[in-house]
Chain A
Amino acid sequence: MWRDALVVAGKDLRVEGRSKVALNQVVPYSLVVLLLFGFAFDQDQPLLVQAAPGLFWLAVLFSGLLAVQRTFSIESADGAADSLRMSGLEPAGIFVGKVAAVAVQLLLLEVFLAGGIVVLFHSKLAGAGLLAASAVLSTTGVAAAGVAYGALSMGTRVRETLLPLLLAPVLAPVVLAATEAWRAALGFSSGDGWRWLGLLAGFTAIYLAGGVLSFGALMEET
């Protein structure tokens, strides 16, 4: 399974590396989202600093939707999905590989977005350990749920609109927990930020396990 996962992750990342869709479209989009948040809050500096963790994770959620749609749209052209099915790779391996590829792209995007909130919202990053741990767990959770739901909606006629409707409510706990963890790390709340990692780990584990178990059946059907 792990070898297959590496093959699929390598393939997806190579496709992105060559097509540069993530770099040329998703990254600028996420930057525009941050700028629009600035307009929405009327450039109220103290308020933006306070809200920065939540806005950061919303920007990640919006960009994550695009990344998941992209990972399945590259399979829809030229019968690539059928080739993947007939390749003899383990479905669980394909799932883990796709999750890894999406997670790596999102983590790189988060580094960029973290720079964005420092420059645009004047946030002062602190508590690096908690920030990084919650970012890795949340991103893996977003990618796992995204790929599982992406596979569910792949064979449908209305996948572009269906995926956000299915995925956004599912990812609500991740946005909540990751925001709270970041708020604690940046010193905006007195609670212990580390306890939110439990919820994030549980969510990620459920979706990884669910995806590994069901991806074969989903690929057969869609």
Chain B
Amino acid sequence: MRYPLASGSSRLTRVLGWSALVALALNTWWGLWLSPPDVVQGQFVRMLYIHPAVATMCYAGFGVCALGSVAWLWPRLRSPRWDRLAVAGAEVGAVFCFATLVTGSIWGRASWGVWWTWDARLTLTAILFALSLGYLALRRSIDNPHSRALASSMVAILMALTVVVDHYATVWFVTLHQNETLFQPDPTIHGWQLVTMLMSFLAFGLVFAWMMVHRYRLEVLEERYEREGFTSALEARRSEALPERRVEVPSR
């Protein structure tokens, strides 16, 4: 049986990985040296080149997880591929969610003076992170692949609803968090700031894609290990029993 994507890397992933590194380097250079300080936020504006992009990748991860889960639940589309995609999205999403909380907290300390505030969007993001850890824990605790996919798909759809509420939290609730900067008819940033911010989206988007491909690959390998592990272990034990392969234990 052939296992697609089961090798360590391919030309595509190497190109993806190197592009992500170059984009991150450019983002750091432009963000720290070329982009000017902000009129209002001063040097702290440089968090703008990390935090929004990281938060968007967090949403993207959970979005992929939800899409994969819905596709798996759909009887006509059902395939292990969707489940692999869902777990890859959730795990990468959880990493970016943690990074969102950390970078947001640092930015909050700089601009609001506190590491944490009881704001609707912050609180919902923290809850989303807890939900994603629950999702991953649920997956780890079920052995049967079908049961695992079914139970985790249901939890994933709930997580997706939280992402939607989270995104609109700044609109629906009274919040300290600023509104959208970029995706509006008249963006509030220009010049190097705008270019660097766009570069940050490209850089973290490439990192996200690279992590997704490798996490998907890992899932394929884990499935292969589950399927073939028992057979190979059995063969290893049998070969130990053959006289010519028996390992002599040296006597003291």
Contacts and interface: CB of A to CB of B under 8 A. Distances in A.
Given A153-B138, A157-B141, A222 B130 contact: no
A86 interface: no
Given A158-B137, A162-B134, A152 B154 contact: yes
A115 interface: no
Assign chain B's interface to a size class.
10 to 19
A149 B30 CA distance: 47
Interface residues of A, number: 20
A152 B150 CA distance: 9
A198 B141 CA distance: 35
A171 to B, nearest CB: 10
A162 B137 contact: yes
A222 B151 contact: yes
B135 to A, nearest CB: 8
A169 interface: yes
Interface string A103-117: 000000000000000
A7 interface: no
B144 interface: yes
Contacts of B137: 158, 162, 165-166
A169 B144 contact: no
A170 B151 contact: no
29 contacts: A152-B151, A153-B141, A155-B142, A155-B147, A156-B138, A156-B141, A157-B141, A158-B137, A158-B141, A162-B134, A162-B137, A162-B141, A165-B130, A165-B133, A165-B137, A166-B134, A166-B155, A168-B130, A169-B130, A169-B131, A169-B134, A170-B158, A172-B127, A210-B154, A217-B150, A218-B150, A218-B151, A221-B147, A221-B150
Given A156-B141, A165-B137, A169-B127, 11 more contacts: A158-B137, A158-B141, A162-B141, A165-B130, A165-B133, A166-B131, A166-B134, A166-B138, A169-B134, A221-B147, A222-B147
Interface of A: 152-153, 155-159, 162, 165-166, 168-170, 172, 210, 214, 217-218, 221-222
